[in-house]
């Protein structure tokens, strides 16, 4: 694989394919994952090229689904300049923006962040593997440890209380939403939606054209919010194009 890094510089990256395993998103499905060699150092420019080809990052691991006969995990991004919030998103911003402060912080271990992360997992994903291993070590590996590019935490503060954190990668052509967690007691505020809106505002301020939201799966209720950000662009394995309609995404 020859993803362009910065300018005309290119790198040869070795890719590894996992054995089949249970799908984390859809019951009864089998999955495979394509990984970039974890021993290779990835900088922000190289990762930008990989993101533009449908890859994502989890800690130091850069990966893309490569499942037999299934293409339901669709990489999606929001083009910042043409995004138009819908009525619900406008209401969310109107209610939250005057009261919530968005503070940029470096990617570093913070006990307050970690406590919020644990409470979020226990409430939103009590039976998931992440909640089972919500240790400080796994948290550091997932969201804090250096990976070669720049990661910042967008903290959401209500008065003097931390209520949410949007972990975000700064890339040459956009912001990549890594993971967002928030105080379950404030779930009615729609803090996940507000975090994406805050990332869009930040990208616009920085002059960056895209906010990358990772994978969207039509059948997954937990990912339904992503399709509400319009227009939305999807990677089909060849190019990015407007996501106009949905349907069966079994691979041909």
pLDDT in tens, 181-206: 999 999 999 999 999 999 999 999 99
* Superfamily name and number for 78-215+221-228: Gcn5-related N-acetyltransferase (GNAT) (3.40.630.30)
pTM for the whole structure: 0.90
Instruction: Please tell me whether residue 57 adopts helix, strand or coil conformation.
Output: strand
The answer to whether 80 and 211 have CB atoms below 8 angstroms apart is: yes
Half-sphere exposure of 10 (CA within 13 A, CB side): 6
Query: CB under 8 Å to 248, separation ≥6 — which residues?
Result: none
The string of pLDDT tens digits covering residues 36-95 is: 998 898 999 999 999 999 999 999 999 999 999 999 999 999 999 999 999 999 999 999
């Amino acid at each position: 694989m020859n993803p362009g890094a910065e300018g005309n510089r290119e790198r040869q990256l070795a890719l590894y394919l996992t054995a089949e395993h249970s799908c984390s998103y859809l019951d009864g499905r089998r999955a495979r994952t394509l990984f970039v060699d974890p021993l290779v150092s990835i900088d922000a420019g190289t990762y930008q090229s990989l993101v533009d080809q449908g890859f994502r990052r989890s800690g130091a691991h850069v990966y893309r689904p490569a499942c037999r006969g299934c293409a339901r995990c669709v990489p999606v991004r929001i083009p910042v300049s043409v995004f138009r919030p819908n009525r619900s998103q406008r209401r969310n911003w109107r209610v939250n923006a005057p009261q919530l402060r968005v503070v940029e912080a470096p990617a570093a271990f913070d006990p307050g962040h970690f406590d919020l992360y644990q409470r979020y997992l226990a409430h939103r994903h009590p039976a998931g593997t992440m909640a089972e291993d919500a240790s400080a070590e796994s948290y550091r590996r997932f969201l804090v440890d250096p990976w070669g590019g720049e990661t910042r935490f967008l903290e959401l503060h209500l008065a003097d209380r931390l209520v949410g954190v949007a972990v975000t990668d700064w890339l040459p052509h956009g912001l990549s939403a890594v993971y967002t967690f928030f105080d379950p007691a404030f779930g009615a505020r729609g803090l996940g939606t507000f975090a994406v809106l805050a990332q869009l505002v930040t990208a616009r301020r920085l002059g960056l054209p895209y906010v990358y939201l990772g994978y969207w799966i039509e059948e997954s209720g937990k990912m339904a919010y992503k399709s509400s950000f319009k227009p939305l662009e999807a990677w089909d394995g060849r190019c990015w194009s407007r996501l106009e309609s949905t349907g069966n995404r079994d691979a041909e």
